[in-house]
Amino acid sequence: MPAEFKIRHAVQFVETDMAGIVHFSNFFRWMEACETAFYRSLKLPLMSFNPGKVVGWPRVNVSCEYRAPFRYGDTVEVRLLVKEVRTRAVVYVFQFRRIVRGRPAALVAARGEITAVCVQDDPASGRMVAAPIPAAVRAKLQVAPAKAWAR
């Protein structure tokens, strides 16, 4: 039952702004890429289109705090930590570190957080409604120790 997951990403030129610094919006893309890879590693679908079944994980809260810039050519480690598993939602913390000589730097250059709600299609109303996290998903998620994500 993993409580964390990591990916590495090489910063592309297109991800930078006129000052040569990674544009803030890319951190949100990298968080979602890491979450997608995390679910893939657990062999869990991120989305399902079966009527009446869980169909997705819309975001109800997202944030990112920036402490140091990344630039074109940098390699970034994106670390996902499961902060909370609620009845109908999961809260993830993401830490971004520059890779220096093959290892993540001590400094967390940015820290993000996503709250994703489990939803399903309600055939009666035709709307998406919050639903309890399926047991198969819950069984594969473990909350990381607070000391790992609190920094």
φ/ψ of 121, rounded to 5, equals: -80, 130
Residue 151 lies in a domain: no
- Residues 89-146 have pLDDT tens digits of 999 999 999 999 999 999 999 999 999 999 988 878 888 899 999 888 999 999 999 8
In total, the chain counts a number of residues equal to 151
Do the Cβ atoms of 114 and 29 come closer than 8 Å?
Answer: no
Residue 99 lies in a domain: yes
CATH code: domain of residue 100: 3.10.129.10
pTM, whole model, 2 decimals? 0.93
Give SS3 for 36: helix
The C-alpha angle with vertex 133 and arms to 130 and 139, in degrees rounded to 5, equals 175
**Radius of gyration of the chain measured on its C-alpha atoms:** 17
